[in-house]
């Protein structure tokens, strides 16, 4: 049964399509992602909390949904916008269709709209607050007015602390390694892991933890507001700062904790939101980007080596390179818009990267950063 859906943006733009998920209403910041694959990973990435994701690739859903390609325990995106939902699902791991998956999780989606027009609009005007109404809510003479009102009522992500919501509530251990065909995720419970890493979970993607575990890290995952004293009492070899959603500036609890951890000389590695928080803790500033970076094909320059890496990206805030203090140097820069992509502290073992070296989806050009973190912990142990 075909049900109507409406996507409305704060600038007054309206798109009419068909519902491919739950009925009802949702609002958030509308962004576009240029990845050709990985829609299941994108939907379950906590960094997309309070965001409506538009996928620029036209055919989404043709490989269905499986039980393994998830980056968290639930869908975090506020909604999904696509051009076409194929009727035929074909993949040996698929257990259900995309529209069934969205409906089961109470997530709204809209298809059969001109995503090229929408992407150009978002590219030119920047990320827009928007709303999707679907099913009964998309019917009636006032449906468009209600959708526009919901879009304009969304407060925007600037100043919004979402790490508290997306991160874990309890301290726990992590044991899964990377995925292997026909074997699934490796279980490291009985394997030797020489490096104890305490990981701040601000809304992490699971593949980050899998890649750290596969490199010999025994992970203790802690909530976003865990005090530094509690972390250091665990005697970690290193501290990891995960990705997550929202604006980094309101996360004053995390910034204070990171400052205290840096003072101990413990190796620190941050990704995405963790990168921004490390910069803020070091005295730099962050800015809200026009449309952000969302995709799996972003070229980034490794300044030290002069190499170009193709990276996976998902962020709407960035560190202002002009605000870096004297003890923080730039290590990576985007070749799309020249925004800062990586930093390193010169007076303590700490570094970070704005993109996603764990990919999922995307290329693995930046995965050696995990090895660098392990080498940093090994070097500090040998020097002790």
Q: Respond yes or no: is residue 217 known to be catalytic.
A: no
Whether the CB-CB separation of 73 and 105 falls below 8 Å is answered with no
Q: List the chain pLDDT tens, one digit each, 384 residues.
A: 799 999 999 999 999 999 999 999 999 999 999 999 999 999 999 999 999 999 999 999 999 999 999 999 999 999 999 999 999 999 999 999 999 999 999 999 999 999 999 999 999 999 999 999 999 999 999 999 999 999 999 999 999 999 999 999 999 999 999 999 989 999 999 999 999 999 999 999 999 999 999 999 999 999 999 999 999 999 999 999 999 999 999 999 999 999 999 999 999 999 999 999 999 999 999 999 999 999 999 999 999 999 999 999 999 999 999 999 999 999 999 999 999 999 999 999 999 999 999 999 999 999 999 999 999 999 999 998
- Looking at 10, 249, 272, 293, which residue is catalytic? 272
317 is in an annotated binding site: yes
Gap between the Cα atoms of 129 and 144, Å rounded:
15
Question: How many other CB atoms sit within 10 Å of the CB of residue 363?
Answer: 15
How confident is the model at residue 377, as a pLDDT? 98
47 is in an annotated binding site: yes
Residue 113 burial by CB count (10 A; 0-12/13-18/19+): exposed, middle or buried?
buried
How confident is the model at residue 192, as a pLDDT? 93
Q: Respond yes or no: is residue 275 known to be catalytic.
A: no
Question: How many other CB atoms sit within 10 Å of the CB of residue 37?
Answer: 14
Angle between helices 273-281 and 252-262 (to 10 degrees): 70
How confident is the model at residue 384, as a pLDDT? 81
Could you please report the per-residue DSSP string of 239-268?
A: EEE---SS-STT-HHHHHHHHHHHTTT--E
316 is in an annotated binding site: yes
Give the distance from CA 236 to its chain's centroid.
25
Radius of gyration for the chain, computed over Cα atoms and rounded to the nearest angstrom? 21
H/E segment holding residue 196? strand 195-200
273 is in an annotated binding site: yes
367 is in an annotated binding site: no
- Looking at 275, 294, 298, 356, which residue is catalytic? 356
SS3 string of 65-77?
Answer: ECCCCCCCCCCCE
> What does pTM read for this prediction?
0.97
94 is in an annotated binding site: no
Residue 224 burial by CB count (10 A; 0-12/13-18/19+): exposed, middle or buried?
buried
Question: How many other CB atoms sit within 10 Å of the CB of residue 27?
Answer: 25
Give the distance from CA 33 to its chain's centroid.
12
Domains of the chain and CATH, by start: 4-153 (3.50.30.20), 162-383 (3.40.50.880)
Gap between the Cα atoms of 98 and 66, Å rounded:
10
Gap between the Cα atoms of 275 and 365, Å rounded:
18
Q: Respond yes or no: is residue 172 known to be catalytic.
A: no
How confident is the model at residue 314, as a pLDDT? 97
State both tokens at 126: 């920047």
Whether the CB-CB separation of 127 and 316 falls below 8 Å is answered with yes
Buried b (16+ CB within 10 A) or exposed e, 164-180: bbbbbeeeeebbbbeee
How confident is the model at residue 135, as a pLDDT? 97
27 is in an annotated binding site: no
Half-sphere exposure of 37 (CA within 13 A, CB side): 7
H/E segment holding residue 15? strand 14-19
How confident is the model at residue 54, as a pLDDT? 98
């Amino acid at each position: 049964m075909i049900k109507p859906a409406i996507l409305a943006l704060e600038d007054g733009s309206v798109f009419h399509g068909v519902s491919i998920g739950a009925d009802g209403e949702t609002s958030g910041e509308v962004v576009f992602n240029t990845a050709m694959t990985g829609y299941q990973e994108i939907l379950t990435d906590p960094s997309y909390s309070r965001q409506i994701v538009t996928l620029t690739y036209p055919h989404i859903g043709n490989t269905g949904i499986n039980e393994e390609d998830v980056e968290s325990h639930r869908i975090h995106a506020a909604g999904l916008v696509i051009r076409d939902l194929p009727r035929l699902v074909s993949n040996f791991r698929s257990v259900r269709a995309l529209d069934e998956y969205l409906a089961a999780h109470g997530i709204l989606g809209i298809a059969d709209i001109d995503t090229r027009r929408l992407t150009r609009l978002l590219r030119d005007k920047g990320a827009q607050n928007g709303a999707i109404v679907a099913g009964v809510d998309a019917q009636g003479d006032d449906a468009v007015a209600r959708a526009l009102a919901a879009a304009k009522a969304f407060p925007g992500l600037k100043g919004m602390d979402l790490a508290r919501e997306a991160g874990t509530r309890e301290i726990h251990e992590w044991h899964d390694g990377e995925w292997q065909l026909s074997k699934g995720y490796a279980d490291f419970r009985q394997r030797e892991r020489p490096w104890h890493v305490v990981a701040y979970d601000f809304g992490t993607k699971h593949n980050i933890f899998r890649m750290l575990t596969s490199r010999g890290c025994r992970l203790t995952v802690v909530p976003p507001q865990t005090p530094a004293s509690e972390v250091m009492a665990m005697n970690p070899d290193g501290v990891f700062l995960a990705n997550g959603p929202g604006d980094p500036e309101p996360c004053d609890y995390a910034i204070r904790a990171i400052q205290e951890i840096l003072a101990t000389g413990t190796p620190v590695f941050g990704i995405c939101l963790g990168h921004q928080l490390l910069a803020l803790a070091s005295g730099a500033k962050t800015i809200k980007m026009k449309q952000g970076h969302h995709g799996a094909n972003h070229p980034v320059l490794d300044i030290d080596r002069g190499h170009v890496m193709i990276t996976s990206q998902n962020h709407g805030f960035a560190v202002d390179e002009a605000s870096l203090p004297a003890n923080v140097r730039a290590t990576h820069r985007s070749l799309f818009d020249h925004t800062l992509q990586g930093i390193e502290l010169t007076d303590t073992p700490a570094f970070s990267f704005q993109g996603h070296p764990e990919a999922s989806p995307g290329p693995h050009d930046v995965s050696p950063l995990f090895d660098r973190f392990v080498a940093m912990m090994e070097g500090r142990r040998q020097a002790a």
